[in-house]
Amino acid sequence: MTPTVAITTTGSNAFDFRLDNGSTTNYTGDGVSGLYLWGAQMTSGATLAPYVPTGALTASSTADVASITGAAFAGIVNTSEGTVFADLSTTSTSSNTPIFNLYQASNASGNRHSLRNGATIITTNGTNVATFSQAVTGQSSKVAYAYKADDFYYIVGSDGRSDTAGAVPVGIDSMNIGKVETSNLYLNGYIREMATLKSRRPNANLQAMTQ
């Protein structure tokens, strides 16, 4: 059991556990049996952070961000054409909330596929060649993005849109999942499933993925 409570106002007692023996809710026990509790944590924000066990010292969890570079990146991404899929949820409504980013590490804002919640930007040699404005909503959203020269397509749920002009970003060598390529902006949510394909899948396939 993992009970949670959201604190929305100042107070002295927001949440507590008590033993109830049928006659009092402050039962102190019988000296033999007991109630064992662990894992208490407090998180600022709408999304509960992963549980981090502690001992004598306090600890904090780090952002769950996956970055893929080098040979690992080359093994899963075709830079001239490809498809990416994600099943995710986020509590953020900001248009800068990142989903995933394919980018050139040495020129991250100049060459990138930067998929964000409501403000997706595809940039080649410093020029935006495609933009999409679909937003992720609710606790479960499926998105898919496909790219090839003069053939970009992005779909959220059933809302798919095309851009048929523009060169594919060059020099792409890195991928972030849940983080913008050049700043400390994070998904603030979960990616349940994700896939990369080394071919530009037909729009009909992408539509089937996101239903």
Domains of the chain in sequence order: 66-209 (2.60.120.200)
Give pLDDT, residue 62: 60
Q: 38 pLDDT exceeds 90? A: no
- Quick one: pLDDT at residue 48? 63
pLDDT band at 76 (very low <50, low <70, confident <90, very high): very high
Computed over every residue of the chain, the mean pLDDT equals 86
Give the mean model confidence (pLDDT) for residues 73-77: 95
Most confident by average pLDDT, 15-24, 46-55, 114-123: 114-123
Start-to-end C-alpha separation, the chain: 32
The predicted structure's pLDDT at residue 93: 78
The confidence band for 15, taking pLDDT boundaries of 50, 70 and 90, is low
CB-based burial of residue 179 (10 Å sphere; 0-12 exposed, 13-18 middle, 19+ buried)? buried
**Checking DSSP bridges between strand 174-177 and strand 66-69, what pairing results, if any?**
antiparallel
Q: Tell me: the pLDDT tens digits for 138-173?
A: 667 899 999 999 999 999 999 999 999 999 999 999
- Residue 124: per-residue pLDDT: 97
Coil, helix or strand at residue 136: coil
Banded pLDDT at 44 (limits 50, 70, 90): low
Answer whether 64's CB lies under 8 Å from 178's CB.
yes
For the chain, where are the alpha helices, taking DSSP H only?
Answer: 70-76, 203-209
- Three-class DSSP category at 55: coil
> What's the confidence (pLDDT) of residue 5?
72
d(CA 78, CA 68): 14
What mean pLDDT is predicted for residues 55-64? Answer: 65
Residue 17: band (very low, low, confident or very high) from pLDDT cuts 50, 70, 90: confident
Q: Which pLDDT does position 190 carry in this prediction?
A: 83
